[in-house]
């Protein structure tokens, strides 16, 4: 781990360790400044921010709203080298109590569980580029709201912000595309074929008993459930451009072959699907998919996108 503190035994240990220190250890002062580059770029479906101070403010605001948040690192799928820099795709299961006021409204005392996946580029002990997708749909549903109603209320209150789109992106230090591992290529091919309306790839490539975790905190299983999820997304944006942004595949001891693919869907909301009547809104979907493979195909999948960011873009278009 050249350039990193000697206490980190490997890159996943670094990612898991600094996450615990910042969020659960409340190291939002000097340690945050040490771990995040002064001009770090953080992209989320709801917008883009620049600078360690902006990242620290966002962290403190989330801690105020969910002060007892526990972040369980389910996996770190990564590529690169310490010399050139490394990209981690870190899947996190969070458990917390909605105990403070914030973007999700007045404190309710509700106990909530949700996932996030963060793609982070790190070199010389600092993160300088980040792409983060949080399952806000799961959060608002557990607070008794629908993602559509929550997004429309925020837009009506003038709080819709400027959702992330390619036009709002900022070029950062990381320009890599991942690695050329065959498991990453396999997952990227499956997603590309699905988004190319080749839905027959699902029974061909997925384990019949596959476990599937989808936006909204949904856990389901099997071919029919995968078909329903992906068909609803593609049907809502039938003319949108699907792009594979980043691909990682890995084989690690005591782990099945697995992959992380960051992707985007960008275009017009011009179809009936998972987001209601066609609105004509220009919508950008930032998505990340993790998958594990077994002897009968894709056996576990975790796909995240932020439903509230999609509904926000639709609401902003409609006024």
Six token digits for residue 207: 């384990």
Residues with Cβ within 8 Å of residue 115, at least 6 apart in sequence: 91, 92, 93, 94, 134, 135, 138, 213, 217, 302, 304
pLDDT at 1 over 90: no
Q: Are 66 and 95 in contact (CB under 8 A)?
A: no
Confidence of residue 5 (pLDDT cuts 50, 70, 90): very high
Measured distance CA(14)–CA(31) in Å, rounded:
13
pLDDT at 270 over 90: yes
Closest by Cα among 258, 246, 249 to 174:
246
pLDDT digits (tens, 9 = 90+) for 16-41: 999 999 999 999 999 999 999 999 99
Predicted confidence at residue 319, as pLDDT, reads: 86
Task: Report the DSSP beta bridge partners of residue 178.
Answer: 247
pLDDT at 180 over 90: yes
Reduce the DSSP state of residue 180 to 3 states and report it: coil
Query: Could you tell me the pTM of the whole model?
Result: 0.97
Predicted confidence at residue 217, as pLDDT, reads: 98
Confidence of residue 182 (pLDDT cuts 50, 70, 90): very high
Length in residues, the chain: 319
% of the chain surpassing 70 pLDDT: 100
């Amino acid at each position: 781990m050249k350039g990193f503190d000697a206490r980190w035994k490997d890159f996943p240990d670094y990612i898991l360790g600094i996450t615990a220190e910042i969020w659960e250890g409340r190291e939002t002062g000097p340690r945050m400044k040490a771990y995040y580059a002064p001009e770090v770029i953080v992209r989320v479906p709801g917008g883009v921010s620049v600078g360690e101070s902006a990242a620290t403010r966002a962290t403190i605001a989330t801690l105020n709203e969910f002060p007892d948040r526990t972040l369980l690192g389910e996996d770190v799928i990564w590529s690169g080298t310490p010399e050139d820099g490394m990209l981690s795709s870190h899947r996190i299961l969070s458990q917390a109590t909605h105990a403070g006021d914030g973007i999700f409204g007045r404190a309710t005392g509700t106990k909530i569980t949700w996932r996030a996946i963060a793609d982070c580029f790190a070199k010389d002990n600092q993160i300088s580029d980040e792409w983060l997708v949080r399952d806000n749909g799961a959060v608002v549903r557990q607070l008794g709201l629908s993602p559509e109603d929550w997004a429309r209320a925020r837009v009506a209150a003038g709080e819709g912000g400027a959702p992330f789109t390619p036009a709002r992106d900022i070029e950062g230090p990381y320009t890599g595309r991942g690695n050329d591992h065959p498991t990453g290529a396999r997952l990227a091919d499956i997603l590309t074929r699905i988004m190319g309306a080749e839905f027959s790839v699902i029974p061909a490539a997925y384990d019949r008993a596959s476990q599937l975790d989808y936006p909204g905190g949904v856990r389901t299983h099997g071919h029919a459930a995968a078909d329903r999820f992906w068909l609803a997304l593609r049907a809502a944006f039938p003319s949108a451009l699907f792009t594979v942004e980043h691909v990682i595949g890995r084989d690690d001891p005591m782990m099945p072959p697995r992959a992380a693919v960051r992707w985007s869907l960008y275009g017009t909301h011009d179809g009936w699907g998972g987001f209601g009547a066609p609105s004509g809104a220009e919508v950008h979907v930032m998505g990340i998919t993790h998958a594990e493979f077994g002897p009968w195909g894709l056996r576990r999948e975790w796909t995240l996108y932020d439903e509230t960011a999609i509904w926000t873009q639709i609401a902003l278009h409609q006024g």
